[in-house]
Amino acid sequence: MIRFFTTIIFSLIPFFSFAEQIETQIFADTITVERDGVLRAEGNILVQYGDNKIRAQALKFNQKTKKIKFIGIKDLHDGNAISLSATEAVISSDLSEGIIKAANLLIDNSIQIQTGAVRLKDGKISSASEISRVTSCEECKGKEPNWYLSASSAKRDNENSNIIYKDVTVRVKGLPIAYIPYLRMPDPSVKRARGFLVPEAVLTSNLASGLKLPYFIPLGLSSDLLITPYFSSKTKTLEYRYRKKFINGDLAVTGAFSDDDLASNDLRYFSKLIGNLDLSYGIGLNFNVGKVGDSSYLGDYVYSEDSEFNSEITLKKTIVEKHQFFDGDLSYLRENEQDNSLDEYYSLSGSYIKDISPLNLPGKLRLSTNLNSSVNVNDDNSFSRPPSSAQVGINYNQQNSLGSLRLSHQFYGQYNSFVNSADAGTTNEEFSFQYGGSTLISLPLHAREKGKLVVLKPKFLLSVNDQENDILGNYFIGTEELNWGNIFSGKKIRSLTETETGLSISIGVEKQVYWENGRHLEVSFAASKIDNLTYTPSQNLGIEARDLNYLGKFSFREKNAFTFSSDVLLSSKGHLLQSDFKGDYSHKNLNLGLNYETIDQANDTRLSEDLRTLDLISGYTISDDFQVNVGGRYDLNNRKMATTSFGLIFDLGSWEYNFTQEYLKQDSEKFSMSAIFEDECTRLTFSFENRYQDIGSSEPVKSLMFRVQLKPFANVVFSQGGDQITF
């Protein structure tokens, strides 16, 4: 807070330090020169020198004493963001020294300062006295502000680039709440000064009460060091952070050392290095490495929810041009997760795409290559090669139009190399060749009727695909499902090792209706049949060989109030495989959202049975200052509420209150409440939160927080938690 106070008072850069050789213009209603060499000016005085302007009631310049006396300074602008008014000022003729009395300063149109006197020396403000008020409250004119600062004096130490304050007091509603008799702070002309930052009080259930005292050390223009001692009755901790900015990147080192009563270790610690560098030839180096002394240290001190740090180093290069694209990286990853035999992992991946416009062929030709290879170093120092792949492919696409009829032709071929050791139990290299072609025909039809526009778009897809050689193992087989993203694709199976074979057909129609009153209707229906597959997928995903599968989509939207949509996937026998129904309704102060979803157990191995849920989100606004929210998920199979939440938000004057209660399987999961006060210059936040579930290795957390923000100076935070309390 005082640091900002320092900036406010002495960021008044020497707007008086213009020399006599700078042309000064004086405008006034009346200007007279007396016989004794005294110049007087009265009425609507404007003195302008460069970007600086002074408006006053009167001025007097004595040529013998070389003094200028301003009476009733209405406004003084420095040409930037500082303006000043005062009862009077006496300044030397070269405007380098003088005193401004009863000054009122305004900075950035928000900070108001009242001081008895401001002294100039060498064209700069050297000191201020009788500082009665510093505040940012715009509504406090003519009345007591919510809060302000005061000080008996402030003096500038130019030799040491410091400001020395005496008798600093923080007042809220006129009542003093903090007093500092003597305070030395960096000069505002120093952008990065050595010194203590705002202290932080800490209260924890396992470490008792404590205090953190950050100390900032600048190391040149591009690096700094932050050292934070942490003292309590149960721990002695030293936290540190080093930052360095390079022309081609940056890095940061953070960590801590602790001696406490929580563990038998004599010294507990963690360290972490994060950075990125742009090397030669457009190569980027990214690294994120860390080390922890013991698995409970990060949780005990709330440094992280993880028990260990993973380490990763990556060399990466990307080229993006109009007709070509390249992306490649070489990575090293070290994992220290429990029950994971993987200790170190090296990987090499890259892709290259080149678009070619053949001179003798219409359409576009694309060449592509992909590589993904890796090596594991296990915890017993043995090596293994996980699944790896490499591909070289060619793709040709051509689009034509015959009147309203649109044709799209696509042909592709891809040569693949695999090491599929995860499932096949071998590191032998295997090869396959995938190829195929497709033609998509569509006929968009538009009809304008009274008050609406109707768009009808029939679609027909015919494709042929095949693959040479079958690949052992299932590592590269994905969970492919029939959806609106691939039903009209020439190749629906994205797996590198598997594909559909033979003839495939997809047929469908889309209808859209647009009304002039803002309503919109969309209905789509499609069917697809695949001749054969190189593997046997789940029947519940809609991709079955030699059987038709159906997709349906419906959506309707009113101009403002109502929206309904649904997606369904049906088998050839009419069985419902997947469905999703959504609805939203708004009317006056009521908002309702409803979502019905079914998930087949075969699609998610975590499920012991088919999942059918109904999600509800609702909100009712009683007035502009009062709102109620209710939500939850209902399990239709078990006929129970899976999750429930209740919320209440209301305003009283400048206060806003928020209460929320959440339940998981009818048991309390989280309760939170907060109260926030905010006006032009102050923001107060009180909040309490109780999380009943475990978070990582920590126990259930209770936290109490109080935050004070005196705009725009500083934040003071008080918080309490079952494991951590931070002020």
Label residue 470 exposed, middle or buried (CB < 10 Å: 0-12, 13-18, 19+).
exposed
One-character DSSP codes across 576-634 = EEEEEEEEEEEETTEEEEEEEEEE-GGG-TT-SS-EEEEEEEEEEEEETTEEEEEEEEE
* Angle at CA of residue 623, ends 619 and 625, nearest 5°: 95
What is the arithmetic mean of pLDDT over 109-124? Answer: 76
Residue 15 has what pLDDT? 37
Q: What is the average pLDDT score of the chain?
A: 80
CA 215, 219, 220, 221 dihedral sign is negative
What single letter denotes the amino acid at residue 128?
A: A
Structural domain includes residue 564: yes
Instruction: List pLDDT tens digits, range 616-649.
Output: 888 888 888 889 999 998 888 888 888 899 899 9
The confidence band for 110, taking pLDDT boundaries of 50, 70 and 90, is low
Contact between 498 and 533 (Cβ < 8 Å): yes
pLDDT at 688 over 80: no
Higher pLDDT: 341 or 42? It is: 42
Q: Residue 701: is its pLDDT beyond 70? A: no
* pLDDT tens string 285-296: 999 999 888 878
User: What is the rounded distance in angstroms from the CA atom of residue 83 to the CA atom of residue 524?
Assistant: 65
2-50 residue pLDDT tens: 444 444 444 443 433 333 445 667 788 888 888 777 888 888 888 776 6
3-state secondary structure of 138: helix
At 461 the pLDDT is 96
- Contact predicate 228/212, CB 8 Å: yes
Which has the minimum average pLDDT: 5-9, 403-407, 474-478, 540-544?
A: 5-9
pLDDT score at 450:
87
CATH number at residue 169: 2.60.450.10
State residue 286's pLDDT score.
95
pLDDT, tens digit, 9 for 90 and up, residues 54-86: 888 888 888 788 888 888 888 876 555 567 788
- Cα–Cα distances in angstroms (integers) from residue 372 to residues 89, 188, 291, 523, 664, in the given order: 76, 54, 28, 41, 42
Question: In which band, very low, low, confident or very high, does the pLDDT at 662 lie, cut at 50, 70 and 90?
Answer: confident
When mean pLDDT is compared across 368-377, 388-397, 586-595, 682-691, the lowest value belongs to: 682-691
Mean pLDDT over residues 548-563, rounded? 87
Nearest Cα to Cα of residue 83 among 47, 101, 107: 107
Residue-number span of the structural domain to which 83 is assigned:
2-193
| DSSP three-state, residue 337 | coil
Show the tokens assigned to 299.
């949780």
Q: Is residue 275 part of a domain?
A: no
DSSP string covering 412-428, please? EEEEEEEE-HHHHS---
pLDDT band at 251 (very low <50, low <70, confident <90, very high): very high
State the Cα–Cα distance between residues 526 and 88, nearest whole angstrom. Answer: 85
Instruction: Using the 3D structure, point to which of 585, 602, 618 is the last residue of a domain.
Output: 585
Q: How far is CA 204 from CA 197, 209, 233, 695, in A?
A: 22, 6, 11, 16
Residue 186: its pLDDT value, please?
65
How many Å apart are CA 408 and CA 397, to the nearest integer?
Answer: 7
In angstroms, the CA 559 to CA 95 distance is 67
* pLDDT band of 681, cuts 50, 70, 90: low
| Res 133 pLDDT > 50 | yes
Residue 455 confidence (pLDDT): 94
Mean pLDDT of all residues in 530-545? 81
How many distinct helices (H) and strands (E) make up the chain? 3, 45
CA 573 and chain centroid, separation? 48
Region of 29 on the Ramachandran plot (φ > 0 left; ψ -120 to 50 alpha; else beta): alpha
Specify the number of domains making up the chain. 2
- Confidence bin at 700 (pLDDT 50/70/90): low
Is residue 719 assigned to a domain? no
Burial of 263 (0-12, 13-18, 19+ CB in 10 A): middle
Task: Looking at mean pLDDT, say which of 193-202, 251-260, 296-305 comes out highest.
Answer: 251-260
Place of tokens 């210059």: 681
Half-sphere exposure of 288 (CA within 13 A, CB side): 7
Contacts of 489 (CB under 8 A, 6+ apart): 438, 461
Q: Is residue 552 part of a domain?
A: yes
Mean pLDDT of 595-604: 72
Report whether 74 contacts 56 (CB < 8 A): yes
Does 265 have pLDDT greater than 70?
no
**Sorting pLDDT into bands at 50, 70 and 90, what band is 690?**
confident
Q: How is residue 677 written in tokens?
A: 């006060």
Greatest mean pLDDT among 351-355, 425-429, 585-589, 607-611 lies in 351-355
**Residue 422 pLDDT greater than 70, yes or no:** no
CA angle 267, 269, 270 (to 5 degrees): 170
Cβ–Cβ < 8 Å for 24, 47: yes
Rg for the chain, CA atoms, rounded: 37
Confidence of residue 366 (pLDDT cuts 50, 70, 90): very high
Residue 272: left if φ>0, alpha if ψ -120 to 50, beta else—which one? Answer: beta
Given the DSSP bridges, would you call strands 67-77 and 82-92 parallel, antiparallel or unpaired? Answer: antiparallel
CB-neighbour burial class of residue 29 (10 A; exposed 0-12, middle 13-18, buried 19+): exposed
The neighbour count for residue 76, using CB atoms within 10 Å, is 25
Structure tokens that stand for 656 in this block: 């806003």
- As a whole number of angstroms, the distance between CA 290 and CA 311 comes to 6
Q: Is residue 103 situated within a structural domain?
A: yes
Q: Are strands 124-135 and 576-587 parallel, antiparallel or unpaired?
A: unpaired
Cβ atoms of 112 and 133 closer than 8 Å: yes
pLDDT, residue 715, reads 44
End-to-end CA distance of the chain: 15
Between residues 47 and 449, which one has the greater pLDDT?
Answer: 449
Final residue of a domain: which of 160, 193, 226?
193
d(CA 467, CA 368): 18
- The token pair at 714 is 């500083």
Comparing 389-393, 436-440, 517-521, the range with the smallest average pLDDT is: 517-521
Contact 692, 700 (CB under 8 A): yes
Residue 673 and residue 685: Cα distance in Å, rounded? 11
pLDDT for the residue 318? 92
Closest CA to 394 of 408, 409, 407, 410: 410
Question: How many residues does this entry show for the chain?
Answer: 727
pTM (2 decimals)?
Answer: 0.62
What are the φ/ψ torsions at residue 397 (nearest 5 degrees)?
A: -135, 135
Q: Is 592 exposed, middle or buried (0-12, 13-18, 19+ CB in 10 A)?
A: middle
- Integer Cα distance of 518 and 537 in angstroms: 43
* Residue 178 pLDDT class (50, 70, 90 cuts): confident
End position of a domain, from candidates 193, 219, 240? 193
Would you say 678 and 690 are in contact if contact means Cβ atoms under 8 Å apart? no
Does residue 698 surpass a pLDDT of 50?
A: no
DSSP per position, 440-456: EEE--EEEEETTEEEEE
141 CB contacts (<8 Å, ≥6 apart)? none
For 638, the token pair is: 């078990």
DSSP assignment string, 342-396: EEEEEEEEEEEEEEE--SSSSSEEEEEEEEEEEEEEETTS-EE---EEEEEEEEE
For residue 676, name the pLDDT band (cuts at 50, 70, 90).
Answer: confident
Q: Which of 208-212, 276-280, 396-400 has the lowest mean pLDDT?
A: 208-212
Q: What is the spatial distance between Cα 689 and Cα 483, in angstroms, rounded to a whole number?
A: 42
Band of the pLDDT at 424, cuts 50, 70, 90? very low
Q: Count the Cβ atoms, other than its own, within 10 Å of residue 8.
A: 22
Kindly state whether residue 512 falls inside one of the protein's structural domains: yes
Residues 183-214 have pLDDT tens digits of: 776 665 566 777 777 666 666 667 777 778 88
DSSP conformation letters of 511-554: EEEEETTS-EEEEEEEEEEEEEESS---GGGT--BTSEEEEEEE
Give the residue, 125 or 721, on which the prediction is more confident: 125
Quick check: is 673 in a domain? Answer: no
Closest to 556 measured CA to CA, from 521, 527, 581: 521
